[in-house]
Amino acid sequence: MNGVIILDKPAGFTSFDAVAVMRGLAREKKIGHTGTLDPMATGVLPLLIGRAAKAADLLPDTDKEYMAGFRLGERFDTGDVTGKIIETSHARASEGELLRALERFRGDIMQTPPMYSAVSVGGQRLYKLARQGIEIEREPRPVHIGRLELVSFDEKEQRGTLAVACSKGTYIRALIEDIARAAGTLGVMTALRRTKACGFTVRAAVTLEDLRALSAEGRLSAVLRPVETLFGDYPTVQVSPAQAARFCNGGGLDMGRLKMPKIAVTEGQRFCVFGPGGGFLGLAKVRLEKNELGFLKLFAIE
C-alpha cells in the first residue's frame, strides 16, 4: 500500500499513536506523518504510507490553518490547559482591546518557542528541561501569520476562539499568550483543531473509527490518495521511456529535450516527473547551470 490518508486525529492521541494504529490497520511498517499534533489537538494529520513516507522531508512549506480556543486571566506552564496554573490576573480585556492586539501579530513576526516544545537548545529538548523545572533563554524565531481572526469572544467569561493560518513552526499556544499579554492580561489555549495542512482540509479527513471499519471490510484503498497529491502546487513534466529509465536510475533530465511547461523556471525549483504512461515517478529540481532537472527523489518505477 502506497499513498496518503488524511486522518482527522482525535484528542488524546499523539501523532505517533495515530501512526501506530495505522500500521496495524494497513499492515505496513513504513508509515510517517507530515507534522506533529499535540495529544489535546484534533484535526488534519496526513499519514504517509509505504513509498509516500519518503515525502516527509520534501513537502512544500504551505500554511497550516487552525481553530484555537482560549481563555484569558490565567497562564499555564505548558501554555495549554493540560498543564498547571502558574499565574493569574484580574485584568480583563474587552473585545476591542483584543482586536487591536491581533493587529500586532499579523504578517511576519518573531516568536519565542515555549519551554514545553520539541525545540532543541544546546542538544537538549526544551520540554525535557521544562519537566525538570528548568527554564532557559530561547532565541525568537521568524514565523508568518497569514490570517488571524477573532471568531468569537465572550467578554463576561473571557473566552473565545481564534482562526489562524500560519507557517510551519508556529506555536499557537505561544501566540495566544503573546496576544493576551498585548491586550493587558494573561491567556491560555483551551482547544486546538487543525483544519488544513499540506493543502488538505478537514473535510477531506477520515476518523479512526472510519479507518477501522474500512480496514475490516478490506477497503482502506477507498480513502488512499496518490503520493503526488502532496505536491499539487509543483509544476509537472512527462517524460519518454528512455528519459524515465534515466531518471529512475538517478540521472538528470536535459530540459532542452523535455516538453517543459511555459513558465519561468528558477534555480532549485521542484518538478513532479511523470512517466510515459502517466504514472508518478518522483521529484526533480532545476539546475540552471546544467540546464537540467536534477534527480531529487524516486517514489515509483513505471
Per-residue pLDDT of 70-120, as tens digits, reads 999 999 999 999 999 999 999 999 999 999 999 999 999 999 989 888 888
The pLDDT score that the predictor gives to residue 123 is: 82
Cα–Cα distance for residue pair 111/262, rounded to 1 Å: 39
Domains of the chain are 3-58+199-229 (3.30.2350.10), 64-195 (3.30.2350.10), 234-298 (2.30.130.10)
Best CA proximity match to 22, nearest among 42, 40, 45, 39? 45
Pick the catalytic residue from 8, 17, 38, 154.
38
Instruction: Using pLDDT thresholds of 50, 70 and 90, give the confidence band for residue 124.
Output: confident
Mean predicted lDDT score pLDDT of the chain:
94
DSSP string, 118-184: S-EETTEEHHHHHHTT-------EEEEEEEEEEEEEETTTTEEEEEEEE-TT--HHHHHHHHHHHTT
pLDDT digits (tens, 9 = 90+) for 88-100: 999 999 999 999 9
Question: What pTM, to 2 d.p., does this model score?
Answer: 0.90
Pairing of strands 253-254, 120-121: unpaired
Annotated active-site residue 38? The verdict is yes
Exposed / middle / buried, residue 84 (Cβ in 10 Å: 0-12, 13-18, 19+): exposed
pLDDT(270) > 60: yes
Helix locations, the chain, DSSP H: 15-26, 95-103, 126-131, 172-182, 208-216, 241-248
Report which DSSP code applies to 267: T
Q: Could you tell me if 74 and 210 are in contact, meaning their C-beta atoms sit under 8 angstroms apart?
A: no
The pLDDT score that the predictor gives to residue 119 is: 83
